[in-house]
Amino acid sequence: MFSFIKWIASLFEKFKKNKGLWFTTLTVISLMGIFASLYFVNFLVGDVAKKTYENQKIHYLLHIKNQISIQKELVLATTSTITTNGLAIDLFKSNDENKTQKLKQLSNAITTKINSSTATNDYKVDFIIQDKLSNFKAKSGLNVYEDGLYFTSLMPLAETNTSRMIVELKKDAKSMITLYNKENLEWAYFLNDASINKISLINKKKHFSKFYEKFYINNSAFDNSFIAHIKALNMKDFLKNGYAKDSDFFFVTKPIYDYEGNDIGIVVIGEHTSEKNSFVNLIKNLVNSVTLVALGLIVSMILFLF
């Protein structure tokens, strides 16, 4: 052991006598130390950044779930009010030969009233008379119709002693775009190959196109720039991880199901990262600051040691 230490000491003496070799060796060792330390620091900071993205993903997944629940409850409550409509109940009980036509007129009137009170064109009311008696159970949730995705509620008309008369209220899921835009977020849904079959041939040909593998997009519904950003992602990794980011957005995706529990596609939300105080930029600035400070400390330590 003593011989080894003596050999190391003599080696240093030889290096010091050869000034060029000595400073070259010090430089190489210093650079190696700097790069190794930076790699270690970046690994630690990168791990923290990844965990932050994961936590933000969980936050947005909960946000999506809550927003969908709010819309479902809103549609459900509105439908419950319509089921007590006296005119509809009287028409159903009557033998009026123009009952179907009058119910259609009534549904249009109620639709207009709801859209007027909400200042939207998102709602549509229908009265459905079933041919056969059945034990109909109320349904509420997302559903795909011939022209797209809707928040839907179906409930029996009150006081008819039958489930033959159904009130159906639909709210266009595209209305979520406006809600999310108020929070500086983008929103879009993609239907899978099973649910796209519910879209009418005319609407499918006119508005929908294949986006990625089994997913389809309504080209007339969403911001083209936002969709282009999603399309540029590595979709396989995005769907696997549940989140992704690029220079302009932090994206989160979540599967969606209809009121029967069937998988109908995914929703994607995107947070703008162009804002100075967006969490993506805060993380980026934090990583850069930590790296810069760490570099300064490492260089100072190496200069001090040598």
Q: What is the mean pLDDT of each run of 10 residues along the chain (306 residues)?
A: 60 59 60 60 58 84 92 93 90 85 93 93 91 77 95 87 83 93 91 94 92 92 91 94 89 95 95 66 54 55 52
**Cβ proximity of 208 and 284 under 8 Å:** no
pLDDT value, residue 273: 78
Residue carrying the six token digits 């500086």: 184
CA distance 52 to 243: 12
Q: Note the pLDDT of residue 246.
A: 86
pLDDT score at 76 = 93
Residue 267, CA distances (Å) to 67, 68, 199, 284 in order = 12, 11, 18, 26
Residue-wise pLDDT tens digits, 131-144: 766 677 889 999 99
C-alpha distances in angstroms, 286 versus 6, 112, 212, 281?
A: 46, 52, 35, 8
For the chain, give every domain's residue range. Answer: 47-284
Q: How many CB atoms lie within 10 A of CB 176?
A: 23
Determine the pLDDT at residue 292.
56
The DSSP code for 132 is: S
